[in-house]
């Protein structure tokens, strides 16, 4: 049930049926008609801009038109007890008790699906895809949580979602990684001092990995790097992915599919993709212009395969081959994305870190080219998490082994706080993350505020000895809502709309904001009893008004659905 959509339809139909009466010629602008909640200072449930919109295109005074529409609504729909024309021509509408009760019952009878926006598309969301050369750091977990919650959200609406992780287990960085492990093994086994340089990974976790590999390969001498390379790559990758998977799991994240770059190469998927693009002349041999900006010493003008991504809105065409003729990282990624396209998803989403902003155009271009413009890849970039330590900016470097890992964070702060905090911000805004502050202030993290409201609700149900799922019967004769209750109810009505925009725009941060607002209204309602005894909910172990019960159950429904989507727990005691 989405009350706003319901009345957009009803009012639109009414206007269409009565266009002569309203003297409307031009009705082609119904898209812009909105029914929403009016600002809180108006004591109405809904507001509608039909008068403004249609007045404008038909050159009729909006207020006059709004009044005519008002008359129509009064005549045809029995749902409202009061309608007013306000401001420049808004219609404000207040529902009758009967309609309120029927809306409330509708929600109570469909608890699980309240807010659900029915759709059944097939989504692929690629997220995290952190390089398998070490544990996850704090920056990774933003995209991880964003992707996970987006998946939950889309699933809640009935879509099929594949959560995918692309393992970049090919190329130089893996060789360097293996080399680092090799040297650490030599350090352990032969007491050779590990000399860090800029190609090597210095972190202590490399020692752990080395030790594990030593333990399970007792016969191996590790006297020649090239000879041990395959073993080292395979084992190091495995342990490194174990680290990442453990971190993800503790954050409450589980991918459906891990896809390896090496496998991609072995299956010749890159060649296939490039052949396909060649047939459409999207890939051709040619020369690229030298890169703009800083002059590059290594730059050579060489004939090579080039993807014409400018045809799809990119700034420049992109190289598929390196100087030595091997595929570029991008070429491999094109192969990977062909594999995605071929699996018949309606929507592809990539969640990327801020350092990939410049990459999005070319890969979206590639997907358009591969799918004949049928599939749109949507790249969502999560901005940086700026770290502070002791109030000072803290530069992270995975290479230097100098970073705050997800593990460090999890040791201090709960999964719930991390998830809520990382989401409580739109993805294209930087997050200031003061490590010390988070620790100090963990108690007034907004997540507790929302959780606490549910704990209070649970506590109330314990004292009246009832269950949240017990049936609530509303009696129309005595039905009345006080100011707090009506505010909460109106907020609850907005829930489906929050889900709708959060999922269609890929903006999951709307949810924590909304839940916080709902919790605020609830706490305020609850506290009324402290000021004035007559507002107490309970008398002699029994609830005084069933309306109270209904409203509180509504709040609990929304908070449960919401926190479930966020992947944050909801204890009934705190």
Using CB under 7 A as the binding rule, the residues of this chain from 443 to 482 that contact RNA are: 443-444, 446, 448-449, 452, 455-456, 458-460, 463
Least separation in angstroms between residue 392's CB and RNA is: 14
Least separation in angstroms between residue 510's CB and RNA is: 6
Least separation in angstroms between residue 383's CB and RNA is: 6
Our finding on whether 530 is near RNA (CB under 7 A) is: yes
Taking CB under 7 A as the criterion, the residue among 111, 155, 179, 356 binding RNA is 356
Going by C-alpha positions, the residue among 335, 278, 339, 327 that lies closest to residue 307 is: 278
β partners of residue 245: none
Q: Which of 136-144, 224-232, 396-404, 506-514 is the region at the interface with RNA (rule: CB under 7 A)?
A: 506-514
Our finding on whether 294 is near RNA (CB under 7 A) is: yes
Cα separation, 365 vs 363, in Å, equals 5
Going by C-alpha positions, the residue among 441, 454, 391, 388 that lies closest to residue 413 is: 441
Least separation in angstroms between residue 554's CB and RNA is: 17
Binding to RNA in span 366-385, by CB under 7 A: 381, 383-384
What tokens does 39 get? 């600002």
Taking CB under 7 A as the criterion, the residue among 299, 373, 397, 476 binding RNA is 299
Alpha helices in 251-323 (DSSP H): 261-266, 269-279
Of 190 and 299, the one with the shorter C-beta distance to RNA is: 299
Cα separation, 394 vs 408, in Å, equals 15
Our finding on whether 391 is near RNA (CB under 7 A) is: no
Going by C-alpha positions, the residue among 502, 540, 532, 548 that lies closest to residue 153 is: 502
User: Strands 304-307 and 318-319: what pairing?
Assistant: antiparallel
Helix (H) or strand (E) holding 85: strand 80-86
Going by C-alpha positions, the residue among 501, 563, 512 that lies closest to residue 152 is: 563
Binding to RNA in span 226-285, by CB under 7 A: 261
Our finding on whether 82 is near RNA (CB under 7 A) is: no
What tokens does 198 get? 């800029």
Our finding on whether 394 is near RNA (CB under 7 A) is: no
Of 85 and 222, the one with the shorter C-beta distance to RNA is: 85
Taking CB under 7 A as the criterion, the residue among 119, 121, 342, 426 binding RNA is 426
Of 473 and 531, the one with the shorter C-beta distance to RNA is: 531
User: Strands 122-126 and 160-167: what pairing?
Assistant: parallel
Taking CB under 7 A as the criterion, the residue among 72, 77, 101, 288 binding RNA is 288
| 142 within 8 A of 433, measured Cβ to Cβ | no
Cα separation, 139 vs 116, in Å, equals 31
Binding to RNA in span 323-352, by CB under 7 A: 323, 328-330
Our finding on whether 508 is near RNA (CB under 7 A) is: no
Taking CB under 7 A as the criterion, the residue among 14, 38, 203, 559 binding RNA is 38
Binding to RNA in span 18-37, by CB under 7 A: 32, 34, 36-37
What tokens does 11 get? 């009012």
Q: How many helices (H) and strands (E) does the chain have?
A: 20, 17
Question: Which one-letter DSSP state was computed for residue 192?
Answer: P
Binding to RNA in span 109-168, by CB under 7 A: 131, 168
Least separation in angstroms between residue 192's CB and RNA is: 27
Q: Look at phi and psi of residue 64 and say left if phi exceeds 0, alpha if psi is from -120 to 50, else beta.
A: alpha
Least separation in angstroms between residue 222's CB and RNA is: 24
Question: Which one-letter DSSP state was computed for residue 397?
Answer: B
Q: Which of 100-108, 171-179, 184-192, 474-482 is the region at the interface with RNA (rule: CB under 7 A)?
A: 171-179
Q: Which of 38-46, 202-210, 241-249, 338-346 is the region at the interface with RNA (rule: CB under 7 A)?
A: 38-46
- Number of residues this chain uses to bind RNA (CB under 7 A): 104
Q: Which of 9-17, 136-144, 472-480, 508-516 is the region at the interface with RNA (rule: CB under 7 A)?
A: 508-516
Our finding on whether 7 is near RNA (CB under 7 A) is: no
| 297 within 8 A of 286, measured Cβ to Cβ | no
| 391 within 8 A of 440, measured Cβ to Cβ | no
Of 52 and 144, the one with the shorter C-beta distance to RNA is: 52
């Amino acid at each position: 049930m989405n009350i706003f959509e319901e009345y957009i339809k009803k009012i639109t139909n009414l206007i269409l049926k009565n266009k002569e009466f309203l003297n409307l010629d031009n009705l082609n602008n119904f898209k812009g008609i909105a029914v929403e909640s009016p600002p809180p200072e108006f004591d109405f449930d809904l507001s509608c801009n039909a008068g403004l919109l249609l007045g404008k295109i038909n050159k009729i005074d909006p207020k006059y038109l709004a009044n005519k529409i008002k008359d129509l609504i009064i005549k045809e729909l029995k749902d409202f007890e009061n309608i007013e024309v306000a401001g420049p021509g808004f219609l404000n509408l207040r529902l009758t008790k009967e309609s309120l009760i029927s809306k409330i019952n509708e929600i109570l009878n469909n608890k699980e699906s309240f807010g659900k926006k029915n759709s059944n598309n097939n989504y692929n969301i690629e997220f995290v895809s952190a390089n398998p050369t070490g544990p996850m750091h704090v920056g990774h977990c933003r995209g991880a949580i964003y992707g996970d919650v987006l998946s939950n959200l889309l699933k809640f609406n009935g879509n099929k979602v594949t959560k995918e992780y692309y393992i970049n287990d090919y190329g130089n960085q893996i060789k360097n990684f293996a080399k680092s492990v090799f040297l650490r093994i030599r350090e352990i086994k032969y007491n050779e001092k590990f000399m860090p340089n800029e190609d090597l990974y210095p972190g202590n976790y490399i020692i752990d990995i080395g030790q594990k590999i030593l333990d399970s390969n007792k016969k191996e001498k590790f006297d020649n790097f090239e000879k041990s390379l395959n073993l080292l790559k395979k084992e190091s990758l495995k342990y490194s992915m174990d680290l990442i998977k453990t971190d993800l799991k503790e954050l409450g994240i589980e991918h459906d599919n891990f896809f390896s770059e090496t496998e991609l190469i072995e299956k010749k998927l890159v060649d296939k993709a490039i052949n396909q693009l060649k047939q459409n002349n999207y890939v051709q041999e040619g020369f690229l212009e030298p890169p703009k900006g800083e002059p590059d010493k290594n730059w050579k003008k060489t004939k090579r395969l080039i993807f014409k991504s400018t045809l799809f809105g990119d700034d420049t065409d992109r190289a598929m081959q390196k100087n030595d003729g091997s595929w570029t990282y991008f070429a491999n990624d094109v192969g990977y994305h062909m594999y995605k396209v071929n699996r018949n998803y309606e929507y592809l989403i990539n969640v990327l870190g801020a350092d990939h902003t410049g990459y999005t155009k070319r890969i979206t271009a590639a997907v358009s080219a591969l799918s004949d413009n049928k599939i749109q890849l949507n790249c969502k970039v999560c901005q940086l998490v700026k770290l502070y330590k002791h109030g000072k900016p803290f530069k992270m470097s995975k290479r230097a082994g100098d970073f705050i890992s997800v593990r460090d964070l999890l040791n201090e702060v709960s999964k719930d706080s991390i998830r809520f905090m990382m989401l409580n911000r739109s993805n294209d805004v930087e997050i200031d993350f003061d490590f010390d502050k988070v620790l100090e202030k963990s108690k007034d993290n907004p997540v507790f505020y929302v959780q606490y409201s549910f704990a209070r609700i649970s506590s109330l149900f314990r004292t009246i000895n009832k269950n949240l799922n017990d049936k609530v019967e509303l009696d129309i004769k005595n039905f009345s809502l006080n100011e707090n209750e009506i505010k909460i109810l109106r907020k609850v009505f907005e829930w489906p709309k929050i889900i709708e925009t959060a999922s269609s725009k890929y903006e999951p941060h709307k949810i924590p904001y909304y839940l916080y607002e709902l919790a605020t209204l609830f706490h305020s309602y609850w506290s009324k009893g402290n000021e004035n005894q007559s507002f107490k909910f309970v008398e002699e172990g029994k609830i005084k008004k069933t309306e109270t019960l209904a409203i509180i159950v509504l709040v609990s429904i929304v908070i449960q659905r919401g926190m479930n989507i966020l992947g944050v727990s909801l204890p009934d005691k705190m």
